[in-house]
Amino acid sequence: MTTATAVLDAHGLTKTFDGHTVLQGLDLEVGGGEFISVMGPSGSGKSTLLYNISGMDTMTAGSVAFAGQDLASLSQKQLARLRLTTMGFIFQHVYLLKNLCLLDNVVLPAYLAGLAPREQLNERAMALMRRTGVAELADRDVSEASGGQLQRIGICRALINQPTILFCDEPTGALDSAAAAEIMDILGELNTEGTTIMLVTHDAKVAARTSRVLYLIDGRIVGDRHQGRYDGTRHDQRHLELTEWLLEQGL
Amino acid sequence: MRLNARPRGVARPDDPAVDTPVPNRPGTGREARGDPRSRRRGGRFGLYGRMVARDVARNRGITTALVALMMLSVMLGTASAGTLVRLIGASSNLMTLADAPHVAQLHAGEFDQPEVDRWAAGRLEVAHHQAMLMLGIDGGNLRFGGEPQTDSIQQNSLVVPNGAHDLLLDLENRPITRIEPGTIVLPVIYEGQDGLAVGDTVTITGAAGFTKDLTIAGFARDSIMNPAIASSKRLAVAPVDLEEVRARTGEVEHLVEFWLQDPATQSAGFKKAYQDAGMPQAGPMVDSATFQTLTVIGDGMVASVVILVSMLLLVVGLLCLRFSFLTAAEQDYREIGVLKAIGVAPRDVRRIYLTKYALLAGVASLLGLVGGLSLTPVLTRNITRYMGTASTPWNWIVPILAAALIFVVLVLFVLVLLRRFRKISAVVALSAGATHQPKATRVRLHRSRMPVQVRLGTMDVIARWPTYLLLLVVFAVSTFIMIVPVNSATTANAPGFINYMGIGTVDLRIDLRSTDEGSPDAFGAVVEQLEADPSVAVIAPMVTTRNDTIDRDGNAASLYIENGDHGRLPLTYAEGRAPTGGSEIALSLLALHQSGLGVGDTLPVEVEGQVRDLSVVGSYQDITHGGKTAKSSLPTGSEEVMWYVIGVELAPGADASAITREYGEQFAPAKVADIEQWRSQTLGSTAQQLTVAAGVSAVVAIVLAALMTALFARMLLARDAGQIAIQRAIGADDAGLRQQYLTRILLVLVLGVIVGTVAANTLGELMFNLMFEGMYGGFETLAQGTSRIDFSVNPLLAYALLPAALLGVVTVVTAASSRSISTTEISSLTTE
Ligand SMILES: Nc1ncnc2c1ncn2[C@@H]1O[C@H](COP(=O)(O)OP(=O)(O)OP(=O)(O)O)[C@@H](O)[C@H]1O
Ligand SMILES: [Mg+2]
């Protein structure tokens, strides 16, 4: 990928928790329209990478540029606005607001951004929920839906402001393989429509559907594999090749 | 509280859909994982002790606030109990040391001592009696340190102090029995007035250029005429000086005093017998119960306000206790289940909590007691000055008992709360995790037009209202203890308050005592002159007589009846209307209560030797003359006249102060006062003390609100850390989140202020009246409707400035507390 089209450009990204360094001066460039998966053992810093590269968490050292703009130069308010309008985030544990019904959870970022009349935003939310198959749950409480359904609500919330980049932290981790495949179909479609996606997963089958795979150990990128776009065919073949590559990394 | 005993797999409430509600502070979980052997060494109680210590450390904010509240409540409780006991102790001590008479009759005019002696000798209940000569000096003839006393409503009289019985006491409570010639001892009320001090000069003037200078040798406490509301004052001089002045000026009166064998049972009958026997009685008659009421009323009111504040603080303290308990219980819910599962008896679990809260309450009570005991001297400064101190062990025992009582209430409350632990079953606790999830509400964000963060704040208050209840009560209580004392003070200071002092809206008030046969003529002359004066618009001349009637038990009683045209310059009647003609009467609320009648009934009154049935057409409140007066227009010619009062309304544009001064000189010895001056002098320091109490309680209220807001906001932010992290992650900015929290707290504040204001104007007014009822009639008139004062509210102060102050403080505290929002990051959820 060339610098000209880079959406994200991280240099020496370092994150320390109470003297324990989780990200060790990591460099990463993400091009527009890429579909990247991040893999690595538990505790290797995958979630932390997503949080810091998106400006959600404050890094300890290093720099991140988003669309050519240094995140460190932005005020807290500008940073929040940037996250709100151009980034979408799907969390490992979904993290919905439990006081709100499911539809409210989806529309909240849109209301915060306030870029269109509320009726229109409600409509857009309902359209997203129809597309992900959870429209009939709109008025339900967070405690009245299954894990898979909540994960889809999380996706709708991430998409409501039509972000240019989507960060997903194990969006399929809690789902069975059929549900996981459905989610991956949706993400694939979005990527085809032009959304850049960065996705954390433990599942090689999921990673096989992305075009680039990063492998993290102890907060360092130890492997970076470009495997070409997934066109819906040769999935088993891609999976096999990736598994072999992963075994190499693990050594 | 994470226990080592917990099986690792079971503990984590990893519901993937929602964030966990109670974030641990980083580190606490690790500390808990100590070396298992050390635990065994400490034994079971060591474990409990550590649980308690850890719990206190984790909830430091709420624990501090809880201890502070309990302490404040104990402090004010002990201070007010201490004040009351000192007040009662000091006043009865003063009565005892001074050997105050049980019944005293002031008599103006001719006095036949042998006649009184003969009568008294025939009365078995009389233990001792004596009469004291009092030489009344008109205010125009009296100057204190150069200041003429024309404006004073006090009736000052020179006396030679008694050598025994009814003693004047110096400021060390030692009897003053001898005054050096050329010197004078003034009542303590004058100390410091216009800078008056020992060594200053009191000047008495009289006809034909008579001038007598006396040097102030000291100040004295007077067991029966101490307070401002008792309008006579005794100034002690040497016999030679008294004789010298008496030859040139002054009005001779006698104070006839009686000491009874058993005043409690004999006083009423004795007074009646004295009056029936036609003994000297040209003036008011009072008994020791009245002196005592007048003496304690001002400080009693202040102590009542402090007691009220302390009780409200106790209520808030109990709520805070419950809140702290539930927070701890929620955190410990699973551990309690584990303890039960491994076979620890529920009794032991309860003991852990009881130990914790009893310890906290104990510490708070001790600190509060110390604080209360050191606050007492501040509250009793006035009492000490006017009455001295009575050193009895009760001064210490009562505050300690008060503190102990509050401690017991706190512990009992914990015991009640602990009953809920019986219901926790091991299985439910282990499987369900947190005690309760918030209930879903029908309030929806996507149907709202409000700004997002304001809406989110509102929704949270609605969804989790039980959480906000504590804060609501705190704000309501703060508003209440801010507004009630302020309204009490503005009411007592309002011009309209004279309505409760038995007089209508007048500009001037002229008081003339009935002293001798010349009095009716003097009164007539004043009336005549007023009628001729163009600057006087309306006058209402009243003649007060003492008439016989019967009380509710059918016993004979006497009643002061003010006769005149009550249609002129009328006062506001609590019930009914003004009496017209000689067949109607209006009674003061206390007199009405005493007669056992209601408006519409008839009251038998002896008029000109005949019993007349007067119909009671109205009732009104009168806090003067012991609260028992009546109004009618009966013939007064052959009755015994006590005093004359003329209400004056001036013509528009008339200069009230000039007229007051002019008439004051012209009508002497009648007292002319503009009504405002009369009100403030009669109420004396009471209204002033209420103002001080109002200021103090407003400060307490604001501090309480600030403290609890800080605590609550911190608790809320800690509890919501997960939700805040999520909102920040999806792009909510910090200013918006701060707005959301401000919305929550200000919404609760507004509701609290409304609740508190409504309560202040209903309950608060009720309490204010109860206070008067208790102070005038004791227990039996409590809640009998003998006081019906309406709050006269200063709306700007009570409904705008004070709530605005509260709003300002709460906003600042909330904004300051919500700084932690900026440091809440999504990665903190990882360690959950
Ligand atoms: N807020 C925090 N405070 C302290 N340590 C943290 C915090 N967040 C993460 N860590 C630590 O940083 C390391 C990396 O965590 P991270 O969540 O990024 O791992 P991960 O690769 O996403 O793991 P998993 O696959 O289990 O989700 C872990 O050791 C974790 O304990
Ligand atoms: Mg992770």
pLDDT digits (tens, 9 = 90+) for B773-825: 776 666 666 667 778 888 888 889 888 999 999 999 999 999 998 888 888 77
Q: Does B26 touch chain A (CB under 8 A)?
A: yes
Does residue A1 belong to any structural domain of this protein? no
SS3 B454: helix
Nearest to B143 by CA among B206, B189, B188, B198: B206
Q: How far is CA A1 from CA B137, B201, B527, in A?
A: 111, 105, 112
Contact state of B730 with A51 under an 8 Å Cβ cutoff: no
User: What pLDDT shows up at residue B383?
Assistant: 80
Contact state of B16 with A98 under an 8 Å Cβ cutoff: no
Q: Please provide the average confidence, as pLDDT, over all residues in chain B.
A: 81
Q: Is the pLDDT of residue B725 over 50?
A: yes
The set of residues, in sequence order, having a beta carbon less than 8 Å from that of A53 and lying 6+ positions away, is: A8, A10, A13, A28, A64, A167, A198
Does residue A104 belong to any structural domain of this protein? yes
Work out the angle at residue A42's Cα, subtended by the Cα atoms of residues A40 and A44, and round it to the nearest 5 degrees. 60
User: What pLDDT shows up at residue B458?
Assistant: 92
User: What pLDDT shows up at residue B37?
Assistant: 40
**Locus of tokens 């020791």:** B288
Q: What is the mean pLDDT of residues B291-305?
A: 73
Q: How far is B732 from chain A (nearest CA, A)?
A: 6
Q: Among A203-212, B225-234, B468-477, B630-639, whose mean pLDDT is lowest?
A: B225-234
The set of residues, in sequence order, having a beta carbon less than 8 Å from that of B785 and lying 6+ positions away, is: B589, B593
Contact state of A111 with B732 under an 8 Å Cβ cutoff: no
User: What pLDDT shows up at residue B8?
Assistant: 37
Q: B556-563 and B629-632: which strand pairing?
A: parallel
Q: B126-137 and B155-159: which strand pairing?
A: antiparallel
* Number of Cβ within a 10 Å radius of residue B328: 22
User: What pLDDT shows up at residue B440?
Assistant: 54
Q: How far is A220 from chain B (nearest CA, A)?
A: 19
Q: Is the pLDDT of residue B23 over 80?
A: no
A84 chain-B contacts, CB cut-off 8 A? 730-732
Q: How far is CA B728 from CA A29, B201, B720, B722, B825, in A?
A: 25, 77, 12, 10, 8
Contact criterion met (CB below 8 Å) for B312 and B481: yes
Q: What is the mean pLDDT of residues B658-678?
A: 83
* Number of Cβ within a 10 Å radius of residue B4: 13
Contact criterion met (CB below 8 Å) for A36 and A198: yes
DSSP state letters, chain A: --GGGEEEEEEEEEEEETTEEEEEEEEEEEETT-EEEEE-STTSSHHHHHHHHTTSS--SEEEEEETTEEGGGS-HHHHHHHHHHHEEEE-TT--B-TTSBHHHHHHHHHHHHT-S-HHHHHHHHHHHHHHTT-GGGTT-BGGGS-HHHHHHHHHHHHHTT--SEEEEESTTTTS-HHHHHHHHHHHHHHHHTT-EEEEE-S-HHHHTTSSEEEEEETTEEEEEEE-----SS-HHHHHHHHHHHHHHHH-
- Note the pLDDT tens digit of each residue in A12-23: 999 998 889 999
Contact criterion met (CB below 8 Å) for B708 and B72: no
User: What pLDDT shows up at residue B298?
Assistant: 67
Contact criterion met (CB below 8 Å) for B514 and B284: no
Q: Does B426 touch chain A (CB under 8 A)?
A: no
The set of residues, in sequence order, having a beta carbon less than 8 Å from that of B723 and lying 6+ positions away, is: A97, A98, A99, B19
State the Cα–Cα distance between residues A150 and B16, nearest whole angstrom.
Answer: 9
Q: Is the pLDDT of residue B6 over 60?
A: no
Contact criterion met (CB below 8 Å) for B120 and B126: yes
User: What pLDDT shows up at residue B25?
Assistant: 38
- Note the pLDDT tens digit of each residue in B318-345: 877 887 777 777 666 666 667 667 777 7
ipTM score assigned to the predicted complex: 0.91
SS3 B15: coil
Q: What is the mean pLDDT of residues A169-177?
A: 81
Nearest to B224 by CA among B139, B107, B104, B126: B104
Note which residues in 736-775 of chain B have CB less than 8 A from chain A: 736
What element of type H or E holds B749?
helix B734-759
DSSP for residue B163: S
DSSP for residue B764: I
Note which residues in 458-477 of chain B have CB less than 8 A from chain A: 459-460, 463-464
Contact criterion met (CB below 8 Å) for B179 and B242: no
User: What pLDDT shows up at residue B11?
Assistant: 35
B622 pairs with which residues across the strands?
Answer: B501
B569's torsion region: left (phi>0), alpha (psi -120 to 50) or beta? Answer: left
**Locus of tokens 């991040």:** A38
- Note the pLDDT tens digit of each residue in B497-548: 888 888 888 888 888 877 777 788 888 888 998 888 888 888 899 998 888 8
- Note the pLDDT tens digit of each residue in A1-46: 444 468 999 999 999 988 899 999 999 999 999 999 999 999 999 9
State the Cα–Cα distance between residues B649 and B533, nearest whole angstrom.
Answer: 12
Q: Which two tokens stand for residue B794?
A: 């200063």
Q: Rank A148-152, A163-167, B17-21, B597-601 by mean pLDDT and report only the highest.
A: A163-167
Contact criterion met (CB below 8 Å) for B272 and B557: yes
User: What pLDDT shows up at residue A108?
Assistant: 94
Number of domains in chain A: 1
Say whether the peptide bond before residue B21 is cis (omega within 30 degrees of 0).
no
User: What pLDDT shows up at residue B331?
Assistant: 67
Does residue A219 belong to any structural domain of this protein? yes
User: What pLDDT shows up at residue B101?
Assistant: 92
Q: How far is the CA of A47 from the centre of ligand 1 (A)?
A: 7
Q: How far is the CA of A26 from the centre of ligand 2 (A)?
A: 17
* Number of Cβ within a 10 Å radius of residue B384: 13
Q: For chain B, how far is it from start to end, CA to CA, in angstroms?
A: 13
User: What pLDDT shows up at residue B48?
Assistant: 65
* Number of Cβ within a 10 Å radius of residue B164: 10
User: What pLDDT shows up at residue B145?
Assistant: 85
User: What pLDDT shows up at residue B549?
Assistant: 85
**Locus of tokens 């091009």:** A31
Does residue A130 belong to any structural domain of this protein? yes
Q: Which of A46, A49, A60 to mutate to test the pocket of ligand 1 (most atoms within 8 A of CB)?
A: A46
Q: Which of B827, B828, B832 to mutate to test the pocket of ligand 1 (most atoms within 8 A of CB)?
A: B827
SS3 B796: helix
B826 chain-A contacts, CB cut-off 8 A? 51, 56-57, 95
- Note the pLDDT tens digit of each residue in B226-285: 776 667 889 999 999 999 999 988 888 899 999 999 888 888 888 888 888 888 887 778
Q: Is the pLDDT of residue B421 over 70?
A: no
Query: Is the torsion defined by CA of A176, A178, A179, A181 positive or negative?
Result: positive
Q: How far is the CA of B831 from the centre of ligand 1 (A)?
A: 8
| Ligand 1 atom nearest A46 alpha carbon | 21
Query: Is the torsion defined by CA of B438, B443, B448, B454 positive or negative?
Result: negative
A88 pairs with which residues across the strands?
Answer: A166
Contact state of A89 with B729 under an 8 Å Cβ cutoff: yes
Q: What is the mean pLDDT of residues B34-38?
A: 41
- Note the pLDDT tens digit of each residue in B342-386: 777 767 777 777 888 888 899 999 999 999 998 888 778 778 888
What element of type H or E holds B129?
strand B126-137
User: What pLDDT shows up at residue A1?
Assistant: 40
Is residue B63 very low, low, confident or very high in pLDDT (cuts 50, 70, 90)?
confident
Amino acid letter for position B151 = D
A82 chain-B contacts, CB cut-off 8 A? 731
Contact state of A143 with B18 under an 8 Å Cβ cutoff: yes
Is residue B45 very low, low, confident or very high in pLDDT (cuts 50, 70, 90)?
low
Q: How far is A236 from chain B (nearest CA, A)?
A: 30
Q: Which two tokens stand for residue B653?
A: 């544009």
Q: How far is B424 from chain A (nearest CA, A)?
A: 23
| Residues making up chain B, counted from first to last | 832
* Number of Cβ within a 10 Å radius of residue B496: 13
Closest partner residue to A95 among B438, B726, B825, by Cβ? B726
B645 pairs with which residues across the strands?
Answer: B511, B542
**Locus of tokens 């000086």:** B241
Q: Among A68-77, A82-91, B409-418, B666-675, whose mean pLDDT is lowest?
A: B666-675
B30, B439, B445: best to mutate for the A interface, most A CBs within 10 A = B445
Q: Does B37 touch chain A (CB under 8 A)?
A: no
Contact criterion met (CB below 8 Å) for A143 and A98: yes
Does residue A215 belong to any structural domain of this protein? yes
Contact state of B446 with A107 under an 8 Å Cβ cutoff: yes
Nearest to A221 by CA among A65, A37, A33: A37
Contact criterion met (CB below 8 Å) for B281 and B640: yes
Bigger pLDDT: B316 or B52? B316
Q: For chain A, how far is it from start to end, CA to CA, in angstroms?
A: 27
Protein residues whose CB sits closer than 6 Å to any atom of ligand 1: A 17-18, 22, 40, 42-48, 92; B 827-828, 830-831
- Note the pLDDT tens digit of each residue in B674-719: 888 888 777 766 777 778 778 888 888 898 898 888 888 887 887 7
- Note the pLDDT tens digit of each residue in A102-131: 999 999 999 999 989 999 999 999 999 998
Q: Is the pLDDT of residue B439 over 80?
A: no
Q: What are phi and psi of B79, to 5 degrees?
A: -65, -40
CATH code for the domain in which residue A124 is found: 3.40.50.300
Q: B536-550 and B641-650: which strand pairing?
A: antiparallel
pTM for the structure as a whole:
0.75
The domain in which residue A68 lies consists of 6-249
DSSP state letters, B405-418: HHHHHHHHHHHHHH
Contact criterion met (CB below 8 Å) for B104 and B268: no
Is residue B423 very low, low, confident or very high in pLDDT (cuts 50, 70, 90)?
low
A91 chain-B contacts, CB cut-off 8 A? 729
